[in-house]
Amino acid sequence: MGERPAAGGGKWVDVAPERVGRWLENFATRHGAYREEGLTLVAADGAEATLHAPPGAGEPGSVAELIRAALEPRRLGLLLARKGAVAAGIADGTELTSSKVDTHYVQGRTAAGGWSQQRFARRRANQAKAATADSAGIAARVLLPEVRTLTALVTGGDRAAVDAILADRTLAPVAALRAGRLLDVPEPRHAVLVEAIALARAVRVLIREP
């Protein structure tokens, strides 16, 4: 599922739960035999890899426990948002069982057509406020009826947009399940929501090589 740089050095890798065993074998092939220190692997050549359980998989104390927990089917809530676009869904294991996607127009930051900057900013703020309210309504319709069955809420997109939606009081039960990770996804669409399931289920691995 790709790699990305990690703050402070190293890189993050997302590994599907079904592929963690194979990934461990490859890690040993590349770096030599390793020992486990909790969820951190320390290889013969000094490379280290720390595994992070996916949302809703609890707090396993060993790699074996993490793999078992990651493979268990879970129901996850998904909420993706970027500048007027929102996608909410329920993932049951690897399947998207319900969803709603919508887009609201919000003007860009540059005034045009003779508008005064103040009037333009006010109109844009009103559009953003209306889009947030509508997005919160969509999230409520999809997620609230299933909130008792969810093990976690996984969010993605723009953090400020997600925060604004979840600030709606009616979504408090959903917000309480929010996982710490924010998925890096493009503008929410149905296809993006489907693809986000794999990221939401993935075991995150932080790798630091000597």
Q: For 152-163, write each residue's pLDDT tens digit.
A: 999 999 999 999
The CA–CA distances, whole Å, from 132 to 37, 68, 127 equal 44, 38, 9
Domains contained in the chain, CATH given: 3-73+202-208 (no CATH), 75-200 (3.30.420.60)
Mean pLDDT within 125-131: 55
* pLDDT number for residue 133: 82
* pLDDT number for residue 83: 82
- Pairwise CA distance, residues 175 & 183, whole Å: 16
* pLDDT number for residue 121: 54
Return the amino acid letter for 154. Answer: V
| pTM, full prediction | 0.87
Please answer whether residues 87 and 192 qualify as being in contact, where contact means their C-beta atoms are separated by less than 8 angstroms.
Answer: yes
Q: For 171-203, write each residue's pLDDT tens digit.
A: 999 999 999 999 999 999 999 999 999 999 999
Please answer whether residues 135 and 58 qualify as being in contact, where contact means their C-beta atoms are separated by less than 8 angstroms.
Answer: no
Contacting residues for 8 by C-beta, under 8 A, at least 6 apart: none
Q: Where are the beta strands (DSSP E) in the chain?
A: 3-5, 11-15, 34-37, 40-43, 48-52, 75-82, 85-92, 95-103, 152-157, 178-183, 203-208
Return the amino acid letter for 203. Answer: V
Q: For 9-55, write each residue's pLDDT tens digit.
A: 999 999 999 999 999 999 999 999 999 999 999 999 999 999 999 99
